[in-house]
Structure 1
Amino acid sequence: MAEIAIRNISKTFTDRSRDRDVVAIDNVSMTIADHDFVCLLGPSGCGKSTLLNMIAGFEQPSAGRIEVGGVPVEKPGADRGVVFQQPTLMPWLTVADNVAFHLKLKGLGKAERRERAQRFIDLVGLTGFEGHFPSELSGGMNQRVGIARALLMNPRVILMDEPFAALDAQTKLEMQEELVQIWQRIACTIVFVTHSVDEALVLGNRIAVMTRRPGRIREDFEFDMPRPRDITSPAFNDAKRRVLGLIREEATLVRRAA
């Protein structure tokens, strides 16, 4: 059974200031298997984040349905961890307390919270920073805290909305390498929204390219290049040309429709 089943999803928003409806996503269907790493690419405004939010349960589709593990998605759940572009940490809590916060809400004692959080703090490379506050960390380190927090919930699915977009180039490369290693170790399913073709091809074993609004899946293909991936190799650059060609065609259609 597919981990995530997206069945004929459409999403319409009401623009009250202009008294009209806007179709953000139109009749999207795809299946995502256990341990897939799917990257969603497409023009700005094509509905990538909206689709991710519906898988997360933050928004409901106007038509169609989404299932995770055969169960319809009707609201957020512990089976789906979410990592946003900004890590949304609580500045008054330390790294350890931010990672373990939802365990506190469940009533677990401090010692057990710290013990369970430590595994994931170690996993994301923050050993030794357990007592630091977010203001004392770099942007990349704060994003690691957000990833550790999501992992601690032991989700079957991790949803990531451009989590590395605000990072400098070197930190972004490091975080991409870390994320692939984490994905390989814990065997979860990841759906990752990005605007970067290079990032999608470094990370994903599947690339789904969306059309201009209303967003549809224009092309969804497997990318099984061995890891770690050589971004200078002919195979990588062939795939990059393929994806860039699709995105440029969509951008041209947007300009013609304007």
Structure 2
Amino acid sequence: MAYVQIDDVSKVFTDARRGTELLTLDRISLHLEQREFLCLLGPSGCGKSTLLNMIAGFESASSGRVSVGGRQVDQPGANRGMVFQQATLMPWLTVWENVAFYHKLQGRGKRERRELAQAYIDLVGLTGFENHYPSELSGGMSQRVGIARALLLNPDVILMDEPFAALDAQTKEELQQELVTIWQKSQATIVFVTHSVDEALLLGTQVAVMTHRPGRIRELIGVDLPRPRDVTSPRFNDLKRHVLGLIREEACAANRLARAL
């Protein structure tokens, strides 16, 4: 049995004020083994983040089933860590306090929390910034704090919603490389939402290309390129051309549908 199972999942959003319904996801099925790195890629509005939120337990399916480790997902849980596009740090807490905040809620003492946080602060390259506040950090450093906070939960699944989208190119490249290293060490399964074909092919063991709304899985592509990945290699660029072709077809289909309405 796959570790993360998404079976025939659909999601309908109801607008009670207008009396309308919007089918966002349509009969999605995906099965992920442990230690997979799945990148979700597709046009804006295709339901990538909605699907991620279902795995997290923030959204429920209108039909179908989402399960992690054989248990149906019906609420958030500590076995799933979430990293958002913005780090959403608490500005009144230092780096180490932000990283260890969950364990404060669990009633653990300050010394124990500090020790637990330090290993993950070191892992994401923030050694020396433990006592800095979020206002003193760059965007890339803030995202590192968010990743460390998610890792400290020791989750089986890490869910990432375009975490590097707002960063400059150099910082993004550095964090992409570090994320692969962290994933290789952590043994976790990662589901990563992105709009970037290059990012998906650099990071993923699989790339799921979604259709325009309602979102379906257009194609699931295995990426067996050696790491570190060379974006100039013929194989990388063959995959890139293939994925770009799928996305262009979906964008054209969405435009035709918009004109017909």
Equivalences, count: 258
State the identity as a percent.
Answer: 69
Name 2:42's counterpart in structure 1. 42
Deviations 1:7-45 (A, max 9, x none): 000000012343210000000001011000000000000
| 1:132-143 matches, cutoff 5 A | 132-143=132-143
1:200-219 Cα distance to aligned partner (Å, 9 max, x none) = 00000100000000000000
1:99, distance to aligned residue in structure 2 (A): 0.2
Alignment of 1:56-135 (within 5 A): 56-135=56-135
1:212 partner letter: H
Please give the TM-score of this superposition, normalised by the length of structure 2.
Answer: 0.98
Match of 2:215? 215
Q: Provide the C-alpha distance between the structure 1 equivalents of 2:97 and 2:30, rounded to a whole number of angstroms.
A: 37
1:11 correspondence with 2:11: yes
The answer for the alignment partner of 1:161 in structure 2 is 161
Q: Name structure 1 gaps, 5 residues minimum.
A: none
| Aligned twin of 2:239 | 239
Q: Which amino acid aligns with 2:228?
A: P
| 1:208-255 alpha-carbon deviations (Å, 9 max, x no partner) | 000000000000011010000000110110000010000000001011
Alpha-carbon RMSD: 0.6
* Letter in structure 2 aligned against 1:122: D
Q: Does 1:175 align with 2:175?
A: yes
Comparing 53-62 with 9-18, greater Cα deviation is found at 9-18
- Distance of 1:139 and 1:241 partners within structure 2: 31
Deviant stretches of 4+, over 6 Å: none
CA distance in 1, matches of 2:69, 2:231: 34
- For 1:149, give the aligned amino acid: R
Distance apart, 1:3 and its partner CA: 1.3
2:145 matched to 1:145? yes
Q: Deviations over 1:76-96 (max 9, x none)?
A: 000000000001000000000
- Structure 1 residue matching 2:31: 3-state secondary structure: strand
Q: Distance in 2 between matches of 1:115 and 1:221?
A: 40
* TM-score with structure 1 setting the length: 0.99
SS in 1 for 2:119: helix
Quick one: distance in 1 between partners of 2:6 and 2:99? 30
For the pair 1:185 / 2:185, whether they are aligned, the reply is yes
**Equivalent-residue separation in structure 1 for 2:17 and 2:112 (angstroms):** 50
Structure 1 counterpart of 2:176, one-letter code: Q
Whole-Å separation in 2 of the counterparts to 1:248 and 1:16:
34
